[in-house]
Chain A
Amino acid sequence: MSVEPQATCTVTLRVNGTEFTSAVEARLLLVHFIRENLDLTGTHIGCDTSNCGACTVLLNGEAVKSCTLLTIQADGGEVETVEGLEQNSVLHALQEGFFQEHGLQCGFCTPGMLMSAKALLAANPSPTEAEIRRGISGNLCRCTGYVNIVKAIQYGAATLRGETAVGTQAPSTKELSQSHA
């Protein structure tokens, strides 16, 4: 027998491009590893019961509930969290979309929404409204009623397609930072 069950395992995974190696308890959930071991608290714990999607991250490009995955299951994998979206102080097109379209109120579901939306757009760059609603149907929002979240994802999708998205809510973050400068 070559495989002996272990209570503690060593895992190596890349999170937002940085490699981490750690000895973890087999029972450690990925969301706890991300939040507590790596201190990346952008990924939220909403329901703890695999329902709400606030803990959504990308594992090897696929949207998963990090509260329903053992850290050891992600061993050798590539994890992306909401902290990985912004690049060089520039918001990701989806983040800009959520800002422009007022796609959040309390913001608790937003990190999960963003990651599900990113996976959706990677598979389908021009989703219909129905496809967007279906794509985020594993992510619960208790504030917005989803209308502006859908608009925000449409904004992000248009930007990522190279089109000029026109927001309805706010000056762009670029304009804001210029006015603050």
Chain B
Amino acid sequence: MARWGVCCVIPASFKYAAPGSVLEAIDLLRTNEDAKVLAGGHSLLPLMKLRLANPPVLVDINRIPGLDYIREDPAMGRLRVGALVRHIEFERSELIHRRYPMLAETAGGIGDPLVRNRGTMAGAVAHADPAADWPAALLALDADVVATGSAGERVIPLRELYIAILTTSLRSDELLTEIRIPMPATRSGGAYEKLERKVGDYAVIGVGAYVTLDESGRVVQAGIGLCNAGSTSIKATAAEAFLLGKPAAADNINEAARLAMEASDPVEDDRGPVDYKRAMVRELTRRALRRAFDRAEGGTPR
């Protein structure tokens, strides 16, 4: 990439703090206007190097102990993921492969292995880049996020988090401390499909799909999330609603895929023109749904 003006690819000066607890981090966010949270840094630091982001203060949460957990909480019915869990952990975790294969396959397609060693799920979710894979997968899974701030903790459904590109409903003194993903019901399954030009590139389009079926094979819950298909990550709610009560017939999958395409609003860029991207939303939704149904019907959890 070209060097811009006199600026090298070195971040502008900033002040740095590494709090030892969530409370300290929140206090730093509250008392330092425009401070940014540094987790994996693999979205933020590249932006800072290009001076597209110039935060005056970085709050590095990497030294806070106890935020790197992945665990199921049966009482809550949720898989709980701490703010410092890196993408690579979803590829490594036996629990994830066995119970949440959709998360393992989403993680495996993010960036490249070096990025996955550092980047975090929570960081990607909070960064609110519509081209990120995790939000689309997690919208399909109906995940919630936990925001911890001066006023305490609140749980936000992910579908209510995204306001605009790189903009969330998190308050400036709130830290995204946890992601909660519903534990798989019996006869449920999900899949993530990503079309990319090359390793390390953002998705041309990505689609996450997840279904839960009843005894007769009809859909009782459906989730579809779209990556890089608009100015925010998109939850294709019309397609989800259409699938309710229907079996995994090709006609139903095709119509849901068409509705997902209608929900998309991609822009033309060097990854392709609008018509192509919309067609890819439709095709990838088909593929993701087919695999989600297969996994649900096979009794394999998502």
Partner of B15, one of A7, A50, A134: A7
Contact bitstring B28-41, A, C-beta under 8 A = 1, else 0 = 10011001001001
CB distance from B105 to the nearest CB of A (A): 13
* Cβ contact within 8 Å between A138 and B19: no
A65 contacts which chain B residues (CB < 8 A)?
114-115, 118
| A32-B9 Cα distance, complex, nearest whole Å | 11
Which residue of A has the minimal Cβ distance to B12?
Answer: A27
B113 touches A135 (CB 8 A): yes
Question: When the two chains form their complex, are residues B18 and A116 in contact, meaning their CB atoms are under 8 A apart?
Answer: no
Q: Which residues of B contact A6 (CB under 8 A)?
A: 15-17
Pick from A5, A48, A51, A137: contact of B28, CB under 8 Å: A5
The reply on A114 being an interface residue by CB < 8 A is: no
Instruction: Check A47 against B19 for contact (C-beta < 8 Å).
Output: no
Q: Once the chains bind, are A63 and B16 in contact (CB under 8 Å)?
A: no
B50 within 8 A of A: yes
Report how far A48 CA is from B45 CA in the complex, Å: 11
Q: Is the CB of A48 within 8 A of B41?
A: no
CB of B295, distance to nearest CB on chain A (Å): 23
- Cα of A23 to Cα of B258 in the assembled complex, Å: 58
Given contacts A68-B46, A137-B200, whether A63 and B117 have CB atoms under 8 Å apart is yes
Question: Is the beta-carbon distance between A25 and B13 smaller than 8 angstroms?
Answer: yes
Choose from A2, A7, A48, A138 the contact partner of B49 (Cβ within 8 Å): A48
Determine whether B57 belongs to the interface, using a CB cutoff of 8 Å to chain A: yes
Stretch of A69-77, A95-103, A152-160, A170-178 at the chain-chain interface: A69-77
Q: Mark B1-22, 1 if CB is under 8 A from A, else 0.
A: 1000000111111111111100
Residue of B8, B50, B117 with most chain A CB atoms under a 10 A cut-off:
B117
Chain B residues within 8 Å of A104, by CB: none
Whether the pair B1, A48 counts as a contact (CB closer than 8 A) is yes
In the docked arrangement, what's the CA distance between A11 and B157, Å? 40
Task: Give CA–CA (A47, B42) in the complex, Å.
Answer: 15
**Most chain A beta carbons < 10 A, residue from B12, B48, B59, B112:** B112
Chain A residues, Cβ within 8 Å of B117 = 62-64
Q: In the complex the two chains form, what is the Cα distance from A135 to B112 in whole Å?
A: 9
Shortest distance in angstroms between B178's beta carbon and chain A's nearest beta carbon?
22
A-contact 0/1 string along B198-219, CB 8 Å cutoff:
0110000000000000000000
Asked if B189 lies at the interface with its beta carbon under 8 angstroms from chain A, I say: no
Q: How far apart are the CA atoms of A62 and B40 in the complex, in Å?
A: 14
Which residues of chain A from 45 to 100 have any CB-CB distance to chain B below 8 Å in the complex? 47-51, 53, 56, 62-65, 67-70, 72-73
Complex contact B200–A51 (CB within 8 A):
yes
Is A1 positioned at the interface, with any CB of B under 8 Å from its CB? yes
Tell me, in angstroms, the Cα distance from A51 to B111 when the chains sit together: 9
Q: Number of B residues whose C-beta is below 8 Å from A? A: 42
Asked if B72 lies at the interface with its beta carbon under 8 angstroms from chain A, I say no
Interfacial chain A residues near B16, Cβ < 8 Å? 5-7, 9, 26, 70, 72
Which residues of A are found within 8 Å of B9, using beta-carbon distances? 48-49, 67
Contact in complex: A2, B24 (CB < 8 Å): yes
On whether the beta carbons of B17 and A138 are closer than 8 Å, the reply is: no
Expressed in whole angstroms, the Cα–Cα distance for A62 and B114 within the complex equals: 9
User: Which residue of A has the minimal Cβ distance to B57?
Assistant: A5
| Known contacts A47-B1, A64-B118, A68-B118; is-contact A1 B45 (Cβ 8 Å) | no
Question: B112, A137: Cβ atoms under 8 Å?
Answer: yes
Query: How close is A54's CB to chain B, nearest CB, in angstroms?
Result: 11
Nearest chain B CB to A173's CB is how many angstroms away? 28
Q: Is A4 an interface residue (CB 8 A)?
A: yes
Q: What are the residues of chain B within 8 A of A69 when measuring CB–CB?
A: 41, 45, 118
Q: Does the CB pair B10–A138 fall under 8 Å? A: no
For B28, what are the chain A residues with a Cβ–Cβ distance below 8 Å? 1, 3, 5
A-B contact pairs, 5 of them (CB 8 A): A1-B28, A2-B20, A29-B10, A134-B113, A138-B113
B residues with CB within 8 A of A: 1, 8-20, 24, 27-28, 31-32, 35, 38, 41-42, 45-46, 48-50, 57-60, 62, 111-115, 117-118, 199-200
Which A-B residue pairs are the 8 nearest by beta carbons? A138-B112, A5-B15, A26-B16, A48-B9, A138-B114, A5-B17, A137-B199, A27-B11
Q: A27-B14, A68-B45 are in contact. List 9 more A-B contacts (CB 8 A).
A: A2-B20, A5-B32, A7-B16, A26-B16, A32-B10, A48-B9, A72-B18, A138-B113, A138-B199
